[in-house]
Amino acid sequence: MPIRHYLQFKDFSADEYGYLLRRAAFIKAKFKAVEKYQPFADPDRTLAMIFEKASTRTRVSFEAGMYQMGGSVVHLTTGDSQLGRAEPIEDSARVISRMVDIVMIRTFGQDKIEKFAEYSRVPVINGLTNEFHPCQILADLFTLVEYRPAASGNPLDALQGKVVAWVGDGNNMANTWLQAAELLGFTVHVSTPSGYEVDTKLAGIGNPACYKVFSDPKEACRGADLVTTDVWTSMGYEAENEVRRTAFKQWCVDEAMMAVAQPDALFMHCLPAHRGEEVTAEVIDGAQSVVWDEAENRMHVQKALMEYLLLGRLA
């Protein structure tokens, strides 16, 4: 089968996402029933994980998921890989991809992962870049479908017409939410401080109807089915921390914002969270929060993703 990469959300079609969401549910059910499911065991498949940005959830979810599927894992840190420093990225891609079956990279610039994929002989997955975070949004959508399924049983139907409120930085998460909305038929209400808006050109959005911009974060949450946010200062922007604390002060998801969302609205956060900054403790630890299921679901959707990239459609 031809090599496919997963570098940003729009790399796949809506039909492929319907399959992945169904497959993730199947794989998660196996995990919860403690039933062995190891499609990567014979022959053994190996995942190389390359981290230029440290992570807890990305490493554990990919590594545990690959082992549970019967595969093996090679973990490379900045000191081990040095993409584009010790040797050109294209040379690293040529070598690493001859020794493993699939690669996950968590790095800074999207240009690095695009260059690696261009010269790779195996599928490459974006574990996070400054511009996009597709695996996280895939997990968030799966969590939303789990909690608010469609009567038809079709996961794509569950997303149609939904409203997602994004409160905070116009960052990689916001970019990826807009790509998902454009592709899957829901709307994102975006509220960011002035100067931190989403760059829709960078996000690659062609249909402005998939999002609405609000200066007031509370108004962005009005009528939303899901309210979600991220830290005020993403990794790599630590020098801006104090400036951002001032700029983002009004963009803290609190009970007042959740009160104007739909009565059954959910709250999500990609974690780690800073209580009292981008979200109050009452919200993230409250009844509408599904952040722990959301975090676990990173593993299940990534197992489905790796299975699809390596083995194609199985059902």
- Tens of pLDDT along 83-119? 667 789 999 999 999 999 999 999 999 999 999 999 9
Mapped onto helix, strand or coil, the DSSP state of residue 103 is: strand
Residues 266-290 have pLDDT tens digits of: 999 999 999 999 999 999 999 999 9
| Residue 39 burial by Cβ neighbours in a 10 Å radius (0-12, 13-18, 19+) | middle
The answer on whether 179 is annotated among ligand-binding residues is: no
Q: Is the confidence at residue 240, as pLDDT, over 90?
A: no
- Catalytic site includes residue 4: no
What's the confidence (pLDDT) of residue 81? 67
Q: Percent of the chain, pLDDT > 70?
A: 99
Asked if residue 5 belongs to a known ligand binding site, the reply is: no
Q: Is 244 annotated as a binding residue?
A: no
- Residue for token pair 């209580």: 275
- Residue 158's pLDDT is 98
The pLDDT value recorded for residue 304 is 98
Q: Are strands 124-128 and 102-106 parallel, antiparallel or unpaired?
A: parallel
Model confidence at 239, pLDDT cuts 50, 70, 90, reads confident
Q: Is there a catalytic annotation at residue 121? A: no
| 110 belongs to the catalytic site | no
Lowest mean pLDDT among 77-86, 132-141, 159-168: 77-86
Q: Determine which one of 8, 68, 136, 262 is catalytic.
A: 136
Whether 216 sits among the annotated catalytic residues: the reply is: no
Percent of the chain with pLDDT over 90: 91
Which alpha helices (DSSP H) does the chain contain, by range? 14-32, 57-68, 78-81, 89-96, 110-119, 134-147, 155-159, 172-184, 200-203, 217-221, 241-247, 255-260, 281-284, 291-311
Q: Is 208 annotated as a binding residue?
A: no
Q: Catalytic residue at 298?
A: yes
Under the banding of pLDDT at 50, 70 and 90, the label for residue 237 is confident
Q: Exactly one of 5, 59, 244, 298 is catalytic; name it.
A: 298
Is 58 annotated among the ligand-binding residues?
yes
Q: What is the mean pLDDT of residues 294-299?
A: 98
Is 106 marked within a binding site? yes
Catalytically annotated residue among 23, 133, 244, 300: 133
Among this protein's residues, is 59 annotated catalytic?
no
CA 155, 160, 162, 165 dihedral sign is: positive
